[in-house]
A = this chain, B = another copy of it.
Amino acid sequence: MLILVGLGLWDIRDISIRGLEAAKKADKVYVEYYTSLFFSSPDEIAEKIGKRVEVLERKDLEEDCIKIVEEAKNKNIVILIPGDPMVATTHSILRVEAKRRGVESKIIHSSSIMSAVCGATGLQSYRFGKTATVSWTKSRAPLDVIEANRKIDAHTLLLLDLHPKPMQISEAVDILASIDSRVLNFYAVGLARIGESSEVYCDTLSKIRDHNFGATPHCIVVLAPKLHIVEYEYLSLFANAPKELEQILK
């Protein structure tokens, strides 16, 4: 059996008890650091689960994923995955390959930026539209998503590229503005290190660009054209939102 276990947002303490038990019982445990940043080393994880942990590189997860699938035919294999598994396509493909080869698989979920962003910002989960990624290879795609979401009065979560290095908020804003400078006037929330010593700051993208968020991981939420009163109050109290945001209240 192949078991994909979510590690959650920050370090090994964010794994669920269910996930920890599965790792303790497994014949072999892998971990990947490719699809998200994660702040426990393989040694720290090994200490918690009481056995050796092998690191999977991108190639092991993609071109060579059949190897792991084959291994899971006769053994219980756990792959530890930062955040919640399957938010990345890489993990879907792994489960598809397993099923095709008659290998059972299951997922043990954990915390993810996809829902944690609501807690960190006070923005309501049902008001988020599509998510997009700002990548180092400049692309219009995130701008198109922001525009489509704004048309249906939805917030946009922007994830920032991790490879070859984790992108900072200031870099992401520069990339977006180099394609369409009008985005600088949009209100947004910058977020750093959700799940640990978070920094959350709300203003226009132009102002957010100059704010010091500290270490990565970073992400951004571009606000919908209108805000609910509870969203506004929360951002005022927890993200230093400017008074002018009142003008976009519903």
**What residues of chain A have their CB less than 8 Å away from a CB belonging to chain B?**
4, 6, 8-9, 12-18, 20-21, 83-87, 89, 91-93, 95-96, 99-100, 107, 109-112, 114-116, 118-120, 122, 124-133, 148-149, 151-152, 154, 194-195, 230-231, 233-234, 237-238
Contact = CB atoms under 8 A, between A and B. Distances in A.
Given A96-B230, A152-B148, A119 B14 contact: no
A98 to B, nearest CB: 9
Contacts of A195: 109
A156 B163 CA distance: 30
A209 to B, nearest CB: 23
Contacts of A149: 129, 152
A23 B108 CA distance: 22
A149 B85 CA distance: 24
Contacts of A17: 12-17, 20
30 contacts: A6-B111, A13-B18, A13-B21, A14-B16, A15-B17, A17-B20, A85-B119, A86-B118, A86-B119, A87-B118, A87-B119, A89-B230, A91-B119, A92-B124, A92-B231, A92-B234, A95-B234, A95-B238, A96-B122, A96-B233, A99-B238, A109-B116, A110-B110, A110-B111, A111-B111, A111-B112, A114-B114, A126-B132, A127-B130, A129-B154
What's the number of copies of this chain in the assembled complex?
A: 2
B95 A122 contact: yes
Contacts of A231: 92
Contacts of A107: 116, 119-120
Given A13-B18, A17-B15, A126-B132, A109 B119 contact: yes
Given A8-B16, A130-B129, A122 B21 contact: no
A126 B130 contact: yes
Contacts of A13: 16-18, 21
A109 B84 CA distance: 12
A131 to B, nearest CB: 4
Nearest to A87: B125
